[in-house]
């Protein structure tokens, strides 16, 4: 017999258990549904869209660069490339054979294309040939109907219309390499370059990369499970980079490079009223356009190994003994520290000796200048006067005073390629050579020789302080920035001025430099000027030997230097010229400075005369 009560009880227990399990499973299901539909809705929507929607970055147009007068220095030029969609081409080898009859395709280009096909999605375009000429584009357009799946696509590339004229100022853009990528990733900016191939490598292009690059846009397109395009959903246009207007005067830059043609050297011109660079030329130079598309190893090796070092920006990286160009600043130090006065005279028999020492330090004029005061010492560049001044001043005083004029320091110019030069001191020599400082070292420093080195930009900057009687502006290349809505002037960075014990000493030195100009290179100029030349030894000549340029190697000959400014009453331009191994400063650098100042000071008169004719 069956125990119906027991069976009923068992059934109830099993039914209850089953019901509870069903409720629990329904609860789990509802919980999962809640999680999917509410809690994780955005996450799964994003994942779904990632599979359905492809985001394609759009590169921004790089900002343009102009000179102070609005003349274009760096632009973006269209380029054309030949693109192939493989799945639309029935027979690729046959297509390549036929296409080569219309547009020349090298064996290397053909092989690169064939190799790339192995790892490329066949429905996406692949570049076959880049940098088509306009003639090639026209030729293909006429025959395009023969080539299904082949098309010409346009893009923008950087172009420098002035060629090698401004290479060391503008720098250049080139392909992003692994080092660039690492830097961008560390700065959290790699995503901004997803659609960009090039980045600023040197000069203005590198220093102001953040302004010039712009912000990328993007396009959202719907794709199927194979990644094929279905439709475009949204387009966010990129923001173009900002245009830069520089302080450079293109015509003056052209003049500087014209005067340096065939020579090694540099010319720097500064507006002393605000520190703006008017011209900054370094010779020899090179064409930056060859770096934009990728320079060949052979061409780069030629530049890198050239004995003339064209890759070096001599204006900011070339280090030269300043020679006699710093004598006005040395004299200013002597006057302000009351080591000498306007009336102090020194006897110059053609040599000078440290008391108690037999060695003779020669004057450039072997028979001497006789009695000279501070004006005569600067006008005639009397070495003996400055030997005596250096001896009485000592290296500590000289080093500290010259540091105020920026020697031995970076100027702060807005490009990264700059050397600090060397303003020697006791501590520097101890650290560099583990040797004490000798009084003979100080004597050489007194005429801008010995361990003292400076760049042409440093030299020009120091003279702007002289010309402006102590005012000090950081030299700069950027004048203003322009975006889609406005043009904003770049702020001028004025440093604390140099304050002398007696401000009248500025006028005394300026007068000595004016007399120097009036008695030499600028005596017939239709404007007033001030100047000081220099002839820097590249190697030391023994005490009893005579320097003979005709018997020594060309690269061991003296460097020729000059600093100048005009007009004397209210300076608008300061100039520093360094010509490597050119010889006597006045005879070789002097004419260059005169032509540069003529070009700047008389330009309005020449233009007016030309207009009248």
Residues annotated as part of the active site: 324
CA atoms of 291 and 255, how far apart (whole Å): 25
User: Which 8-state DSSP code applies to residue 239?
Assistant: B
Instruction: Give the tokens for residue 110.
Output: 């053909």
CA atoms of 175 and 203, how far apart (whole Å): 16
Is 363 a known ligand-binding residue? yes
At 98, which helix (H) or strand (E)?
helix 92-99
Q: 3-state SS string over 26-57?
A: HHHHHHHHHHHHHHCHHHHHHHHHHHHEEEEE
287 contacts 487 by C-beta, under 8 angstroms:
no
Q: Which residues pair with 78 in a beta bridge?
A: 156
C-alpha dihedral over 143, 146, 150, 154, to 10 degrees? 20
Helices 92-99 and 107-117, axial angle in degrees (round to 10): 160
Contacts of 560 (CB under 8 A, 6+ apart): 533, 534, 535, 577, 578, 579, 582, 583, 584, 585, 587, 588, 589
> Which position has the token pair 């069956």?
2
528 contacts 390 by C-beta, under 8 angstroms:
no
Q: Which residues pair with 281 in a beta bridge?
A: 267
| Secondary structure (3-state) at 244 | strand
Contacts of 499 (CB under 8 A, 6+ apart): 470
CA atoms of 144 and 102, how far apart (whole Å): 10
Which whole-number Å values give the CA distances from 119 to 126, 179, 283, in the listed order? 11, 25, 46
DSSP 321-378: --GGGGHHHHHHHHHHTTSS-TT--EEESSEE--TT----EE-SSTT--EEE-HHHHH
Is 382 a known ligand-binding residue? yes
Strand 65-66 and strand 243-246: the pairing is parallel
End-to-end CA distance of the chain: 138
| Secondary structure (3-state) at 279 | strand
SS3 content of the chain, % helix, strand, coil (to 5): 40, 20, 40
CA atoms of 158 and 153, how far apart (whole Å): 17
Closest CA to 596 of 552, 531, 500: 531
CA atoms of 516 and 380, how far apart (whole Å): 8
- Which residues are part of a known binding site? 348, 363, 369, 382
- Which residues are part of a known binding site for Zn(2+)? 348, 363, 369, 382
């Amino acid at each position: 017999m069956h125990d119906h009560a027991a069976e009923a009880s068992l059934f109830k227990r099993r039914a209850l258990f089953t019901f509870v399990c069903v409720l629990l499973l329904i609860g789990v299901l509802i919980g999962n549904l809640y999680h999917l539909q509410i809690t994780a809705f955005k996450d799964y929507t994003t994942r779904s869209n990632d599979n359905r929607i492809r985001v394609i970055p759009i590169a921004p147009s790089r900002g343009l660069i102009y000179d102070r007068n609005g003349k274009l220095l760096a632009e973006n030029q269209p380029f054309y490339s030949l693109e192939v969609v493989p799945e639309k081409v029935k027979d690729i080898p046959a297509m390549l054979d036929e296409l080569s009859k219309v547009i020349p395709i090298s064996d290397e280009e053909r092989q690169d294309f064939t190799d790339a096909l192995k790892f490329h999605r066949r429905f996406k375009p692949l570049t076959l040939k880049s940098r088509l000429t306009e003639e090639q584009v026209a030729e293909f357009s006429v025959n395009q109907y023969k080539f299904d799946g082949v098309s010409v696509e346009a893009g923008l590339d950087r172009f420098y219309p002035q060629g090698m004229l401004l290479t060391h100022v503008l720098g250049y853009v080139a392909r992003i390499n692994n080092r660039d990528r690492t830097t961008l990733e560390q700065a959290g900016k790699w995503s901004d370059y997803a659609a960009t191939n090039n980045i600023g490598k040197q000069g203005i292009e590198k220093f102001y990369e953040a302004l010039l690059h712009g912000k990328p846009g993007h396009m959202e397109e719907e794709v199927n499970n194979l990644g094929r395009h279905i439709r475009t959903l949204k387009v966010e246009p990129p923001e173009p980079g900002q245009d830069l207007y520089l302080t450079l005067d293109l015509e003056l830059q052209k003049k500087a490079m014209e005067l340096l043609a065939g020579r090694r050297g540099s010319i720097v011109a500064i507006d002393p009223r605000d520190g703006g660079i008017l011209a900054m030329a370094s010779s020899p130079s090179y064409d930056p356009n060859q770096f934009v598309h990728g320079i060949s190893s052979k061409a780069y090796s030629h530049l890198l190994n050239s004995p003339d070092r064209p890759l070096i920006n001599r204006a900011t990286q070339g280090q030269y003994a300043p020679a006699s160009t710093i004598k006005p600043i040395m004299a200013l130090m002597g006057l302000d520290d009351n080591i000498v006065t306007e009336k102090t005279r020194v006897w110059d028999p053609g040599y000078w000796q440290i008391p108690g020492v037999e060695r003779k330090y020669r004057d450039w004029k072997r028979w001497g200048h006789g009695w000279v005061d501070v004006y005569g010492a600067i006008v005639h560049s009397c070495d003996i006067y400055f030997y005596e001044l250096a001896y009485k001043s000592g290296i500590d005083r000289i080093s500290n005073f010259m540091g105020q004029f920026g020697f031995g320091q970076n100027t702060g110019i807005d490009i990264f390629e700059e050397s600090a030069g060397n303003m020697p001191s006791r501590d520097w020599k101890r650290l560099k050579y583990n040797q004490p400082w000798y009084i003979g070292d100080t004597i050489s420093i007194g005429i801008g020789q010995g361990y003292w080195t400076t760049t042409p930009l440093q030299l020009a900057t120091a003279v702007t302080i002289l010309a402006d009687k102590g005012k000090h502006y950081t030299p700069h290349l950027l004048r203003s920035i322009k975006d889609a809505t406005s043009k904003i002037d770049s702020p001028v960075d004025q440093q604390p001025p140099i304050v002398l014990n007696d401000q009248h000493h500025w006028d005394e030195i300026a007068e000595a430099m004016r007399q120097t100009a009036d008695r030499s290179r600028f005596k017939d100029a239709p404007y007033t000027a001030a100047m000081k030349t220099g002839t820097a030894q590249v190697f030391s000549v023994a005490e009893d030997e005579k320097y003979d340029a005709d018997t020594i190697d060309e690269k061991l000959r003296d460097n020729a230097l000059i600093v100048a400014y005009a007009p004397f009453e209210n300076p608008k331009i300061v100039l520093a010229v360094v010509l490597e191994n050119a010889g006597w400063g006045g005879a070789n650098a002097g004419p260059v400075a005169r032509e540069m100042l003529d070009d700047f000071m008389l330009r309005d008169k020449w233009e007016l005369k030309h207009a009248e004719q």
